[in-house]
Amino acid sequence: MHAEVGNWLVVHGRTLDDRVREGQILEVPHPDGSPPYVVRWTDDDRQSLVFPGADTELLARAPHRPAPRRPDQTPAG
Report the distance separating Cα 56 and Cα 67, nearest Å. 22
> Burial level of 31, CB count in 10 A (0-12/13-18/19+)?
exposed
Nearest to 2 by CA among 34, 50, 28: 34
In the chain, where are the structural domains located? Answer: 8-59
Nearest to 6 by CA among 29, 39, 36: 39
pLDDT category, 13, cuts 50, 70, 90? Answer: confident
Judged against a pLDDT cut of 70, whether residue 14 lies above it is answered with yes
Judged against a pLDDT cut of 70, whether residue 23 lies above it is answered with yes
Kindly report, residue by residue over 25-77, the tens digit of the pLDDT: 999 999 999 999 999 999 999 999 999 999 999 999 988 765 566 666 555 55
